[in-house]
Amino acid sequence: GCDAAAARAAAAAMLVRQPNLAVRDPAALRENMDTLCATLGLPRARVADAVMRHPAILELSPSSVVSRFQQLGSLFCEALPHMRAIDVAEAVCECPALLASQPETIVEKVVGLGAALAPWTQPGPAAARGAAGASSTGSR
């Protein structure tokens, strides 16, 4: 029916983006999808959307999915203590390439991003002027 046609269209779109999936065992791909859903703890539809955008994550072994998610969780929660596991899972769904990337690469990029943002996150004369200007503008 309609669902089967939609599933075939989705599979075709994924194969265009990740041709290697055509030679994978369908049972292994189902296991990988189940592992992604269980590891991320998000609804299957949310995870399926992420997989559609970045089908390469289906090629990760179940143990790699779990390991990389745990490493990402540690990285994010160390850098941003307010983050929870569900926040990390949502970040992975927004950017599935996070899960496909080596954790060491992510660490390097986070460090680089922190260095790039440092001049704008440090309180200084410009920040003080901006705050003073905002308060004087608001009192008029």
Give the CATH superfamily of 2-101.
Transcription termination factor 3, mitochondrial (1.25.70.10)
Where are the domains positioned within the chain? Answer: 2-101, 104-140
Q: What is the pLDDT of residue 23?
A: 94
Q: Specify the residue for token string 């160390």.
A: 78
How many of the other CB atoms lie within 10 Å of CB of 89?
Answer: 22
pLDDT per 10-residue tile (average), the chain, 140 residues: 82 90 93 95 93 92 93 85 88 92 83 86 60 48
| Pick from 57, 62, 67, 47: nearest CA to 98 | 57
**DSSP class of 82:** T
By the 10 Å C-beta count (0-12 exposed, 13-18 middle, 19+ buried), 29 is classed as: middle
